[in-house]
Structure 1
Amino acid sequence: MGKLIRDRVPDIVRELGHHIEVRELAADEYAAALRDKLLEEAREAHDAAGRAALLEELADLVEVALALARHEGITEAEILNQRAAKNRSHGAFDDRLFSTSYRS
């Protein structure tokens, strides 16, 4: 079973004297692989121990999110605008609020 890898990884692996096989994904496969990678990176960020590890995993998470956005025709500016709009309408997470119960 394979997984989505960064563009330079095959070169790095080969430079280390190892063998790696890769193929280019079709558009639908790529979209699915990006979504899977997004979950993988979110799990790794969740499990990161320490600031340096968290920083690295958050950077990976953002890179995958932006790659998925580009693939879907969404610009970084659109994301930032949507983020600002959501912050205006629903707030951010600055107050550290945690719901302990909710009834409708």
Structure 2
Amino acid sequence: MNSEFIKGKLVRDKIPAIIMQDGRKPVYHQASEEEYRTKLLDKLVEEATEFISAPSEEELADIVEVLDAIIDLFGFDIEEIENMKMSKLKNRGGFRERLILCSVMDD
């Protein structure tokens, strides 16, 4: 079995069909709401780890796809998320100046 497909792993919707086209038989089930939530959050960690190991646009696209699914699952409003992002950028800044906080000294 290809190590790309790990038992119990959340996969993209067309993966079972792709496996069948390859002449193999996938064994899968549709996750309950609770299992989907858990596996989707696991998938976010997996994709972030893959990006850290080998940064690429493809790996970043996988993260964005997972984030889109999380937004949908939790019923978040993408416009509200963007507004929060812009507010934080305005009030606290972004990360473009590459600042590393080493300590905070009390007077």
1:53-95 CA-partner distances (Å, limit 9, x unpaired): x111111001101101110001222221121111112111111
Measured in 2, the distance between the counterparts of 1:86 and 1:68 equals: 21
Name the structure 1 match of 2:16: 10
Measured in 2, the distance between the counterparts of 1:27 and 1:9 equals: 20
Give the superposition deviation at 1:101: 2.1
Question: Pairwise mapping of residues 32-71 of structure 1 onto structure 2 (< 5 A)?
Answer: 32-48=38-54, 54-71=56-73
In structure 2, the gaps of 5 or more residues are 1-6
Give the superposition deviation at 1:99: 1.5
Name the structure 2 match of 1:72: 74
Give the superposition deviation at 1:103: 4.9
Q: In proportion to residue count, which structure has more helix?
A: 1
The letter for the 2-side match of 1:21 is V
**TM value normalised by structure 1:** 0.88
Give the superposition deviation at 1:9: 0.6
Which of 81, 92, 95 is 2:83 aligned to?
Answer: 81
Distance verdict in 2 for CA 1:103–1:72, change over 3 Å: farther
In structure 1, the gaps of 5 or more residues are none
Which has the greater radius of gyration? Answer: 2
Aligned-CA RMSD value: 1.4
Divergent runs of 4+, >6 A: none
**TM value normalised by structure 2:** 0.86
Name the structure 2 match of 1:97: 99
Identity of aligned residues (%): 38
Distance verdict in 2 for CA 1:17–1:93, change over 3 Å: same
Alignment coverage as a number of residue pairs: 100
1:23 matched to 2:25: no
Q: Once structures 1 and 2 are overlaid, which stretch shifts more, 76-85 or 27-36?
A: 76-85
Secondary structure at the aligned position of 1:74 is classed as coil
Q: Once structures 1 and 2 are overlaid, which stretch shifts more, 7-16 or 77-86?
A: 77-86
